[in-house]
Structure formats: C-alpha cells, structure tokens
Amino acid sequence: MKFAFLVAILASMMSTFIQAQEVNDPDTRSKLIALEQVWNATINSKDTKALESLLDQGFVYVHFDGRVLTKAEVLAALRLLAVQESVTESIAVHVHEGVAIVTGTFLLKRVENGKPFETRGHFLDTWIPKNGGWVCIASQGIAMDPQQAAEILRLRLGLEDARLRAAQ
C-alpha cells in the first residue's frame, strides 16, 4: 500500500517536471519565433501557400480595423494587399501547457486606395502543437493609432459601397 502511494507521488512529480520543461523549453520559444518570422516573410512575398501551412483550418483573425476574418479571408486579403514592407519589431513568447501566446509589435507599410499608409501596432498570436509542429489558431492586430485604424476602415467601407453601387 505504501509502495503504491510512493509510486503515485513519484509519477505526479515526474508529470509536473515534464510539463515544466515544455513550458520553459528554449527550443519551443525559438521554433515559435522562427514561425513568426516565416509568417512575416509570407506577407512580404505574398506567399499564400506558406502562410496557409502556418494557420489552422479553424483560424480566426481579428483585424485592427475591427473585422473578423477566417483563414480563407486572410489568404484572399494577402493576395490583394499592397504591402511595401512588413517588419516585426519586438516579440515575446509565453508558453503554457498545450498552448503558446506570442506577442509583439509590427510595422506595416502598404498602399490603401492609392494612398501610402504606415501602421505600427501590436499583435497577439495563439499557437497550439499539432501533427508534430505548431499551428496558429487565432491572431489579433491592434493599431497603436486608433484614428488611423478608423481612417482605414472608412476607406474600405467607401470602396465596398462604391463596388456595391457599381454592381447594381
């Protein structure tokens, strides 16, 4: 009876030790930073196939202008995005049991309706281990300048209104 109790305690301690190793594993942090760098490169090169491999099928993105996009919508938007440069300026990885949260800041230079825009913001990406690697299940972008995000949204709504009127 005492032996079974000791085995149970030892197993519990080993489980906690293994979980702690996963959470504090520098290789996991390095892998996630590398995946974020690949993501950034896909934006610069408009490589939708590479981006598709990083995103889970159920991926959801909350854009800094307020839109909520699916994986398919994000990939379609990447094809249309007039990006001049996308740069990740800082990054932090927070690994928990079964999930990783990556936060950081970004600079995105692009053209919107013929007008150049430079957006600086924060991002929050949620990654889970899947099929021997990591996939992103959710992402959120937050513009540091809310007025600029509102202006981008007004431009987009104006374009959509014009497209709807032209289609009628």
pLDDT in tens, 97-138: 899 999 999 988 888 778 888 888 899 999 999 999 999 999
Total-model pTM = 0.73
Edge-first strand order for the sheet with 99-112 is 68-70, 55-62, 133-143, 115-130, 99-112, 82-96
Q: Is residue 154 part of a domain?
A: yes
Q: Is residue 139 part of a domain?
A: yes
pLDDT confidence of residue 77 = 87
Q: Is residue 106 part of a domain?
A: yes
Q: Is residue 8 part of a domain?
A: no
Q: What domain range includes position 36? A: 26-167
pLDDT confidence of residue 146 = 65
pLDDT confidence of residue 41 = 93
Q: Which helix (H) or strand (E) holds 131?
A: none
Separation of alpha carbons 166 and 93, rounded Å: 46
**65: phi then psi, degrees, rounded to nearest 5:** -95, 5
pLDDT confidence of residue 23 = 55
Say if CB 115 and CB 48 are below 8 A apart: no
CATH number, residue 42: 3.10.450.50
> How many domains are contained in the chain?
1
Q: Is residue 4 part of a domain?
A: no
Q: Is residue 92 part of a domain?
A: yes
pLDDT confidence of residue 143 = 83
Each residue's pLDDT tens digit, 28-87: 999 999 999 999 999 999 999 999 999 999 999 998 778 899 999 999 988 887 888 889
> Exposed, middle or buried by CB within 10 Å (0-12, 13-18, 19+), for 154?
exposed
